[in-house]
Structure 1
């Protein structure tokens, strides 16, 4: 490579900026951004606030479920994606059912805690198996699908680091919450759980961004397939033209 072929500092900076922007957009789409975080926190926050005031399980549960449904309705009215809001509704609904059946307000949080533990295990196990979960989540968003597994080792390494980060952070969160579930009162436990909703999540997302921003660019397998289809069509068209020309010469 000659000096003329090498990218200039400005070009390299532009490429880095573009890579970071693409990574930020993918993470925003995958995890819902600020709005997704709000939709995750608000139902639980409303539940613990009402329960702290009046200690009424039924009112607290119904209010949490109602606001979760309202968030979905708002999404639908704005014709926005509803996957994050729907996941919040299902989580709140399971919590309400657990709390109502057992009569224990603390069990409102149990399904979410079990889900967090399951995700922590999934991140770690899939990474140990060579298929880090964060790569499975973000691969389709980056339009690379599973190409990173065999064709982009640097990117696979970044996904592995990010998955380890998610798994360990979620395990640390569980290490705080599960002991408190057994000995803390419902109000104290609820406020601690709300306080631990966003910070661990932001830390995991930030580390994912750091690892992927430094990784090689994703391989756009969709663009490759489109290019192959165009090449095949062009070859087919060229074959027809050649056959037509030969037929005209013979005639």
Structure 2
């Protein structure tokens, strides 16, 4: 069976199991920090990230999400350890959402929607898609959705960070994480499928 673009996106994210396991260190940190102290929470989060990494390596699954996820947990834990504040565990992710929001928004404003640009680059296409109004509008729309999602994640989580609501930050990070990823990747998949149908096939290079 031919792999669909949506399947490829899920594989890169480690599958549904990978999406769920990516939320585990955040959930563990939130629960332990609420019930105990910062140091046990850091240890528990890094431990949970290590378990996920070892488990996925042992299963010979896609290791990129696991490795990147573990590195992300370590970076977040380092922020919290250095500052001594549980809320700083979430700070790297908050700034990442801001960066993504700026990239998505800017790409739409300059009429180079980043979702379309990346799709064309990955599939070896030229800029023909930009000269097809229906396709360009579709990529503009889905990139705008990603911008709104990124701005929402940043604004909500920064507000909770700024008001020292570390417990709710953990809930927001999980709730605005992989469930939204499933929705947005579905929209991206539908846009790509429409673009493939609307555009001629790229000529074979060999």
* Correspondence for 1:99 among 75, 80, 86: 80
Q: Which runs of 5+ in 1 are unaligned?
A: 1-17, 227-251
What residue is the counterpart of 1:225 in the other structure? 205
What residue is the counterpart of 1:11 in the other structure? none
SS at match of 2:170: helix
Correspondence 1:108 to 2:86: no
Correspondence 1:84 to 2:62: no
The answer as to whether partners of 1:30 and 1:137 remain within 8 angstroms in 2 is: no
Correspondence 1:52 to 2:34: yes
Q: Which runs of 5+ in 2 are unaligned?
A: none
CA distance in 2 between partners of 1:63 and 1:35 (Å): 20
Question: Which deviations, in whole Å up to 9, do the C-alpha atoms of 1:24-55 show, x marking residues without a partner?
Answer: 2233234443123113211101110111221x
What residue is the counterpart of 1:232 in the other structure? none
Correspondence 1:205 to 2:185: yes
CA distance in 1 between partners of 2:28 and 2:101 (Å): 26
* Correspondence for 2:143 among 146, 159, 163: 163
Correspondence 1:183 to 2:163: yes
Report how far residue 146 of structure 1 moved: 4.0
SS at match of 1:225: coil
The 4+ residue runs of structure 1 with deviation greater than 6 A are none
Report how far residue 88 of structure 1 moved: 0.9
CA distance in 1 between partners of 2:201 and 2:24 (Å): 37
Instruction: Give the root-mean-square deviation of aligned CA atoms.
Output: 2.5
Count of paired positions: 202
The answer as to whether partners of 1:50 and 1:60 remain within 8 angstroms in 2 is: yes
The answer as to whether partners of 2:161 and 2:169 remain within 8 angstroms in 1 is: yes
What residue is the counterpart of 2:124 in the other structure? 145
Correspondence 1:126 to 2:81: no
Change (3 A) 1:108 1:174: same
What residue is the counterpart of 1:27 in the other structure? 9
Larger radius of gyration: 1
TM-score normalized with structure 2 length: 0.84
Which is worse superposed, 117-126 or 202-211? 202-211
Change (3 A) 1:25 1:95: same
Question: Which deviations, in whole Å up to 9, do the C-alpha atoms of 1:100-131 show, x marking residues without a partner?
Answer: 01000100000011111111211222233343
SS at match of 1:80: coil
